[in-house]
Amino acid sequence: MNIAFIAHDKKKEDIVQFVTAYEELLQEHDLYTTGTTGTRIMDATSLKVHRFQSGPLGGDQQIGARIAENKMDCVIFFKDPLTAQPHEPDITALIRLCDVYSIPLATNMATAEILLRGLQRGDFQWREVVKSKENKEG
């Protein structure tokens, strides 16, 4: 599975702790992050991640493009709801794309844990069916 991790500045430590807790599970998957979030995750774990630009410099949009191309299976985005973000339109567009393409999206730690527990149980097999169907049609 292709999993994206994004975190606003005040949530970066939370996402690093979260990824560290699930490091063993995540080793089996392809991980994508926005810039600084990816650096922090790589510094704290042995996980390999593909880093896009930082969010304000287009990283959110790069992940959004992968969603639109059906190349992202899950997005974990630890948002900071108490701080205004200068790139709010990009964030809104990313969330909209997750809705349009039915990509599971967690915006907080509780929901992210539920998604990863489902991934662990095999609940994401439907994504393989979707990708397989698209490859046959395309």
- For residue 20, give the 3-state DSSP assignment: helix
* CA-to-CA dists, residue 6 to 17, 29, 61, 103, 107, angstroms: 13, 16, 12, 15, 9
The torsion angles phi and psi of 77, rounded to 5 degrees, stand at: -130, 100
3-state SS of 71-92 is CCCEEEEECCCCCCCCCHHHHH
User: Would you call 60 a catalytic residue per the annotation?
Assistant: yes
Full DSSP string of 31-82: EEE-HHHHHHHHHHSS--EEE---GGGTHHHHHHHHHHTT---EEEEE--TT
Catalytic annotation, pick one of 9, 43, 60, 123: 60
Active-site positions? 60
